Structure formats: structure tokens, C-alpha cells
Amino acid sequence: MDPGIAHNGWRLNTPPDRHDHRGTSEPARGHGHHGGDPSVAATELGLAVAVPAKETPDAPAPADGSGESALTRRLKSLLPWSTDTDPVSTLIRTHRSIHSDADPGIVRHAYETAERMHRGQMRKSGEPFITHPVAVAAILSDLGMDTVTLVAAMLHDTVEDTSYTIAALESDFGPEVALIVDGLTKFDKLFFGEAAEAETLRKLIIAAGRDVRVLVIKLADRLHNMRTLDARSTKSQQRIATATRDVLVPLCDRLGIQVIKRDLEDCILKALSPSGYALITEYLTQREGWDEYLERARSAFTTELKNGRVDCKITVRPRHLYSIWKDTVAGRHSEPHDLPRLVVQVEGDDMDCYAALGIIHGRWRPVPGRFKDFIASPKNNLYRSLHTTVIGPDGRSVEVLIRTHEMHLSAEYGVAVNFRYPQGRAGFGPAARAEQLDWLQRVLDWESAAAEPGQFLASLRCDLSEGQIIVFTSTGRPVLLPSDSTPIDLAYTLSADTGNRCIGSRINGRLVPLSSILADGDSVEIITRDNGADEGGPSEEWLDFVKTPHARLHIGRWFEKRSETVTIANKVRLGRVAVGLALRQHGRGLASDLPLVRLATQLGFPDLETLLVAVADHKVSANTVVDRLIRAVDHSPH
């Protein structure tokens, strides 16, 4: 039997036996036998199965020969003043400095479990594999994430790369950690082929909809991999860096986690343009008098704002390498250049930010066209700040960012700030968190309509495109859309029904064609057909100019439902899509058609195609088919 297929073709995560201590250059996905545990198949299908806790051997002595027992190490981790300098103790101390009531024992236990399971596995760099989950957890500790996140980070590769199962993980660390780790476990290319990457990303987004910490861990995981990218071939470096740039950096930006985004972008620059990276690095090291001027400017601004009775803290904020490269070298400038930049953190509210702006503009002449108000009109990730450039001391241009302390925390940590301050601060609460993730809910709305993984990936990239505009409905509601969007895109963003009934639009009071391109700040009125009207609907021509995947998918769905001639092949495809979507609700997929073929016979259908046509015609429910498949796998003999 194919070692990666068990129980009638269902894909099971069955790595090598946990006692197979390999010395490979990187952890390989295993394909071992799961033994006679009757709960494994059901667990891998995402079913809730009661599994008794397994006995685990005592943790072995540390490789450094210290001779410390697991109990000793755990006791030391409980002491914040411990002199132990191992990486786990360091990240625990960082964690407890932010979350003073955190239980470090569970973090240490997660480390010991991961170290035991990954023992013998090596990274491409030649380091023990355990260094990777520890580094990922350290990044998240610095970010201020909660204990559950750190535990899941320590274990995030165990299910994928070792014999540790989701059932065992849930028994040892609870369902919350198990849910996060399962969301991070990739689909195997052996079974899913070229669709594996897109399906893995789809699974990640769905899991993030249930718990956004899945996505935060993924970003930290990719950051450490990017930091150690030199160990890979040039081709692999470029492939990984390109994928990071196209998908994960935009996701990081949507979550607002700038402390990770900056580091990711610098790593991308190093991998994709080594010459550009070297050029910017050399430019930064050869700037003469830069630090001295910034300190003089900071002192002058501090004095001026103090005299104006604005309580604030001013810090120097250098731009990162990728940002300088993108705005100068990539913008076809002959040489890189940068402006001195200061961040003014005001102790107060929004009005105090505007007061500080007035004082600065009253003392130093502002540069025309360089003022942006992201407080009145926040960015799509809820970034809020005032940006201005003035002719500062010595006649040099100085870029100034003005924000409150809460705005600064949100700008740096994004959605992670809600975990850094779980009790809530001004501006950080359930309502703010929900608003931060509005875009994710929109992605999940159209995700189920994207039958092909490639279509889903293309739609996601479009939704995450850097070019964004904000338009206002006739009621004044702000709506975020990709650049080059049309009134049709806005209509479908408001609702599928509004899009289907759309017959015209007005932009800033003027009647315009539905193919008109919207501009940032436009006021748009959507004219719709009355609800009682029977005729009409979307036009196929709309597909030639709509921008958003949301609109494209709803238009396509409308015509599919109203097609006069639906071929057998189309019904087979629709039936297969329906079964696939029902399977994805359980977090799994089919490795082959064999289970469906067997089920078709059991249900009295002559072949698989007839069963799929019956599903498309709603004669058999897709959920019924999936339930029967799960029961068959759950009770099948091993």
C-alpha cells in the first residue's frame, strides 16, 4: 500500500516512526504506518475523537551535558531572575516582562516535546532543527503574543515533520493549540501536486478566520526562514523570496505588523537584488554627520513643542533598506537618498496631534504636497498618523510622523497589540480587533466560491494588492477597494444582491458608465433595479472590466445558476466542487477518487460521475456524501 495513503485513499499525515532519529539536511515529510490506533484516521479527518493521553518517556538529558533534569529546567524557567541564558529562558523572560501572569512551565514543556520529536533532524544550514521553532517563538515573544501562541509556535512543525499526531498534541496541550498547529500544517505536494501551495494557503486563511494567531505564527515562521535563506540555493532563495513578497508581505501589512514587515522586506531585497541590498547598505554606512543632525533636529523639535505646551516624546525613526531602495533605486533615481525622519508620540488624543502639527508648521515651512492625514482617513490596516515634511534646522528637509502612543503601538504591532494588551487599552478592544479583520472576513466570503486553487490564489493576490482607494457611498460609508475598481466592484462589495440589481451609478453627483474607474475619495451612488423586477441581472460584459475577485465570482455564479444548457461535464465538475468544499469544512481533502467510487456503488449509483451529477442536481447532499465518507474511514479496518 502507498505509505502516504490510508483507509480507502484518504490522505493521512503519517511521518516516520518517532524513534527514527534521522540526520537529514532538512526535515522530510514522513510516510510511516500509524499502527493500530483506531482514532488516528478520524483525527486526521478533523473529527473530535476522545483519545486517552499517551505515556511519554522522560525527556532525555540535554545535549550540552549539563545533566539537568526536566524538573530542574522547569523550575529555573519559573524564576524571572534566573541566570540561565539558553534561548528558551531568554524568550520566557521576554514573555513574562510583557505578560507577568504567564505560566512559563507550559512553554518549557512545549520546547521539551518539540526537541524530543525533532531530535536528529537538521536544517539546511546544518543546525539542529529545534533551533527553528525556538527562533519563531522568540520572534513572537518579542511581539508580545500570548502563551498559547508561543506554545503553538514551538510545536508548529511537529505534526507535519514528525510522528506527533494532532490527537496526541491536543491531549498534551489542549484543543486551542491543536487548532492553531493544524491550521499551520501544509498539504503534501506528493498528493496535491502543483495545487499544494495554493491549497495550503487557502487552509491557512480559513484557519486564520477562526483564529488569527495562525497567520501571525506563519509570518514569524517565514521571517526566520528568510533570515536563514543563505543556506539554500540561489534558485530556492528567489522562489521563496518572490512568494513572500507577493503574498505574505501584503498579509503582514493587512495585519498591520510593521515590525515583521520591515524585516521581511529587507530579507526579500537581499535575496532578489543582492546588488541593490549592497548599494543601500553602503549608502547608509557612508552618510556623514547623519546621526549628529538627527539629534540636533530632535532637540529643536522637542524644545518647540515643549514651548507650545505639547507633552510628547520624539524619537529618531530611520527607514529600512527596502523602503529606501523602492523609493529611489527602483524608482530609477541615479543614487539612493533618504530624508531624516522623526516620530512625535503625543501624550493625549487626536486633537493634541493636530496641535503638534500646527506648532511644527508654524515654526518650520511645510513642503507642499507632502502632508497626509491618516488620522481622519486611516489606511486599510487601520494605521493612523499624521505625515508631513518640513524645511527643518539648517534648511534640510525633515519628515515628521505625529501620533498618540496608542497609535504608535498599533502601527508597530498591528493586530498583535490585542494580544500584547489582552486586558485592553484605549483603542484596543474587541470592536477594534473585529474592524482590523474585516478584510479577512471578506476574503472568506468569496473563498468558498473559488473552485480552483489557482483561481483562489490569483484572487487573493488581487485583494492584497498594494494599490488601494477609499470611496464613499451615498450614505457616507467609507469602502476600501483595489485601485482601478469600478462602480460594479463597489456594488458587489456592498452585497451580491446590490451587484446583481445594479443598473447605473453616479460619481460625485454625475451619471457615469458602470465601467468608469473610481478615484480615491469619490462619492459613489449605486442605482439599482426594484426588488420586484423580474428581468435583468449582471451583464457578461462586466467580466471584462471588474477588478475585485468578489465581483467576478458573484457574476460567474449568477450565470452558472441561470445557464439554459448545463452539460454533464459541468455537472460533474460542480458536484466535485461541492464535495470538495464540504470536505474543506473538516480541514481535509481526498488523495484519490477511490473512496468516492466505493461510496457511489454503496449508494446504488452505477459510477462516480452519476453520483457527482446527483450532487450537482441536489438529489444527494454534498454533506451527506462527506458524512458517509467519514464514517466509512472512521470504522474501516486497518
Write out the catalytic residue numbers: 160-161
- The backbone region for 604, taken as left when phi is positive above 0, alpha when psi lies in -120 to 50, beta otherwise, is left
Q: How far is CA 411 from the centre of its chain?
A: 17
d(CA 261, CA 265): 6
d(CA 331, CA 322): 12
The dihedral over CA atoms of 463, 465, 470, 471, expressed in degrees to the nearest 10, equals -60
User: What's at 219, amino acid-wise?
Assistant: L
CB atoms near residue 29 (< 10 Å): 16
Question: Would you say 342 and 297 are in contact if contact means Cβ atoms under 8 Å apart?
Answer: yes
d(CA 546, CA 492): 10
| Cell numbers at 349, concatenated | 488624543
CA-based nearest residue to 116, from 58, 54, 76, 168: 58
Question: Would you say 420 and 143 are in contact if contact means Cβ atoms under 8 Å apart?
Answer: yes
Q: For residue 387, what are the β-bridge partners? A: 372, 401
Neighbouring residues of 543: CB distance < 8 A, sequence distance ≥ 6 = 552, 555, 556
* DSSP 8-state symbol, 187: P
d(CA 106, CA 110): 6
- The backbone region for 466, taken as left when phi is positive above 0, alpha when psi lies in -120 to 50, beta otherwise, is alpha
CA-based nearest residue to 75, from 99, 102, 101, 108: 108
Pairing of β 386-391 and β 372-373: antiparallel
Name the one residue in this structure whose C-alpha cell is 526537541.
Answer: 115
d(CA 26, CA 59): 23
Question: Would you say 176 and 186 are in contact if contact means Cβ atoms under 8 Å apart?
Answer: no
CA-based nearest residue to 44, from 4, 75, 80: 4
- The backbone region for 57, taken as left when phi is positive above 0, alpha when psi lies in -120 to 50, beta otherwise, is beta
Residue 625 has, within 13 A of its CA and on its CB side, a CA count of 32
Neighbouring residues of 453: CB distance < 8 A, sequence distance ≥ 6 = 195, 198, 199, 202
- The backbone region for 59, taken as left when phi is positive above 0, alpha when psi lies in -120 to 50, beta otherwise, is beta
Strands laid side by side in the 468-473 sheet: 478-482, 468-473, 523-528, 502-507, 510-512
| Cell numbers at 558, concatenated | 449568477
